[in-house]
Structure 1
Amino acid sequence: MASDEPAMTTVTSKGQVTIPSSLREQFGLEQGTKLMVVPTEYGLVLKKVDLPSVEEFQQRVEQRAETVDVSLEEVTQLVHEARSENE
């Protein structure tokens, strides 16, 4: 199936949908992958959320620490807030 061909799925009583396996493979969607659901004027759009690895996150924090004065406690709080938003 080409990526521009539409695929059909059904919403369950729990509000769940199954993404066809060909599209899961094409877009690298595995169990536990986070998807953002974005309402648009045309309908709903699913966007894969790529969270950085722990190593990437630590590198980003270290780079920012050189220019921004942020405590470890503040970073921890921001991480918890971001995780809550993505659940």
Structure 2
Amino acid sequence: MRKEFLRGMSTDDPEVTTVTSKGQITIPSRLRKQFGLEKGTKLMVVPTDYGLVLKKIDLPSVEEFQKRVEQRAGTVELSMEDVDQLVHEARGADE
């Protein structure tokens, strides 16, 4: 598995960055352009046996999320009690 993981990595032009005292890093501009990383882009940090992996995650805008909820609202029948139960389960019994 490690060989497969490393095969997907390019070491032709490695980039070096530094972690600041606040735990921040700067992703080199070449890589930001290559992967479409703009201000506000969300990245998931995944710890692995080989180090950290950054994964871009595409979250819908508030407007898009509201639109999706409205589209699905008519397809699911839940009572307020059902919604309360689902919220309670999602939060865990200790809250």
TM-score by length of 2: 0.60
RMSD over equivalenced CA pairs, Å: 2.4
Aligned partners of 1:26, 1:66: CA distance in 2, in Å?
40
Q: Residue in 1 aligned with 2:28?
A: 20
Structure 1 alignment gaps of length 5 or more = 79-87
Cross-structure match for 2:41: 33
Higher gyration radius (CA): 2
Does 39-48 or 50-59 show the bigger shift?
50-59
Residues in 2 aligned to 1:69 and 1:56: alpha-carbon distance in whole angstroms: 22
Residue deviations 1:10-61 (CA, integer Å, cap 9, x gap): 1111111110000011111112221111111211111112111233212211
Q: Which structure's relative contact order is higher, taking Cα pairs within 8 Å and 6+ residues apart?
A: 1
Give unpaired runs (5+ residues) of structure 2.
1-8, 88-95
2:92 alignment counterpart: none
Name the TM-score, length of structure 1 as normaliser: 0.65
User: Are positions 1:4 and 2:10 aligned together?
Assistant: yes
Name the residue aligned to 1:63.
71
Report the CA distance between 1:67 and its aligned residue: 2.4
Kindly, what percent of the aligned residue pairs are identical? 75
Aligned residues: 71
